[in-house]
Amino acid sequence: MPNKTFFWFFLPTGLAMILFIGLPIISTGIQSFYAQHDQVVKEVKKCDPFGCTVSIVVDQEKTSKIREEKPLGKFNGFGTYVDRNHLAIEEIGNFWNETNSFGEFVDQVTNLPFYKALIFTLTYCLFVTPNVLLLGFIIALSLNAVTRRIRGPLIFGTILPMIVTPLVGSLVLFWMIDAEGIIGANLQMLMDDPYLSLKSSKTLTWITIIIYGIWHHSPFAFVVFYAALQTVPQEPVEAAIIDGASRWQRVRHIVLPHIYPVVTFVALISLMDNFRVFEPIIGFSAEGSAQSLSWLIYDNLVNEEVILFGSAAATSMMTIVGIAILLAPVLIRTWKEFRTAR
């Protein structure tokens, strides 16, 4: 396609993307550089059914004046980014000086909320993405091999995990792994340990969420791979069979190279999706043991009675940067291929 045609073709989508994705990101970015104005408080008498006390409230007259002058708040630069609840530059410096061993230093750093969330998010990506690719590919290959008559119902059954709303899917599993649920109770019996609880142990919670993630995302990989498998030309496969190539050799040398671009695509989408892991944490009530970057944003926006826009915006921006870093190798490669192709 000539570049000019492409431009006109892409224009409507591009405009919509700027309007609905670009501008909100810019607005979030601006917000992340601001903090609330200094609160002007005053001492007043408060009375409720349980008695009167002298205590403080926010002085609305003075505060509203400041707010009207500068509605965005106080300019904070990268203040929110480097504070203890985010990158914690100062704290990490202190830990480095105070701790005696490297292990202790790592312990201290991973105790900080942002790094705690980052580690879980990366672990989740690292385990879920390759397994999703592998499982999706295996299912696609096996389904491609079964007789056409039962293929339809089988495909439907396979994509069910993707159809089920993530929150509902995780809730179902949450109840099953309850100490009195079907999986939880049986595990207790199998292990002969009445105190075994999948929900109270951090490691087991992580494993549960990762398994859930693989279960939920595999159908997507499967659908795309299955579609790609339909385009594999039959001649080379038949030629390979005549040459005596085993099934594995055919997959390795003919099928995989053919669908390679699709694998890259699925890997990209999967990585992006997994980096934003959120629903299973809510569904499994796993906030205590597992926090992701998306969960931190949610926490800042709704879990407090005070909404922390600056914190949420800063974490959002860092999530975007994180995804960009993760995708960089693949994107660079695609760009190079594009250049050589031209």
List residues near other proteins by CB under 8 A.
Answer: 35-39, 41-53, 55-58, 60, 63-64, 74, 76, 80, 83-85, 91, 111, 113, 178-179, 194-195, 197, 199-200, 202, 284-289, 291, 299, 302-308, 310-311
Contacts of 89 (CB under 8 A, 6+ apart): 82
Residues forming beta bridges with residue 52, ordered by sequence position: 47
- Find, among 147, 131, 161, the residue nearest to 223 by Cα: 161
Nearer to other proteins, 57 or 126 (CB): 57
Residues forming beta bridges with residue 202, ordered by sequence position: none
Nearer to other proteins, 35 or 209 (CB): 35
Nearer to other proteins, 84 or 247 (CB): 84
Rounded Cα distance, 14 and 7, in Å: 9
Nearer to other proteins, 235 or 305 (CB): 305
Nearer to other proteins, 132 or 290 (CB): 290
Rounded Cα distance, 316 and 298, in Å: 10
Angle, helix 256-275 to helix 113-145, in steps of 10 degrees: 150
**Nearest distance, CB of residue 241 and other proteins, angstroms:** 54
**Nearest distance, CB of residue 76 and other proteins, angstroms:** 8
**Nearest distance, CB of residue 146 and other proteins, angstroms:** 40
Rounded Cα distance, 238 and 233, in Å: 9
Nearer to other proteins, 274 or 291 (CB): 291
Nearer to other proteins, 287 or 337 (CB): 287
Q: Residue 114 is which amino acid? A: F
Where do runs of H (alpha helix) occur along the chain?
Answer: 3-17, 23-32, 60-69, 79-82, 89-98, 102-109, 113-145, 148-163, 166-176, 182-191, 202-229, 234-242, 247-250, 256-275, 279-283, 293-298, 309-341
**Nearest distance, CB of residue 183 and other proteins, angstroms:** 13
Residues forming beta bridges with residue 44, ordered by sequence position: 55
Tokens of 103: 């292990």
**Nearest distance, CB of residue 316 and other proteins, angstroms:** 15
**Nearest distance, CB of residue 25 and other proteins, angstroms:** 20
SS3 call for 46: strand
Q: Are 216 and 270 in contact (CB under 8 A)?
A: no
Residue recorded with tokens 């499994």: 284
Nearer to other proteins, 199 or 276 (CB): 199
Rg, C-alpha atoms of the chain = 26
Q: Are 82 and 88 in contact (CB under 8 A)?
A: yes
**Nearest distance, CB of residue 275 and other proteins, angstroms:** 21
The number of residues in the chain equals 342
- Look up residue 22 and give its DSSP letter: I
Nearer to other proteins, 86 or 250 (CB): 86
**Nearest distance, CB of residue 320 and other proteins, angstroms:** 20
**Nearest distance, CB of residue 190 and other proteins, angstroms:** 17
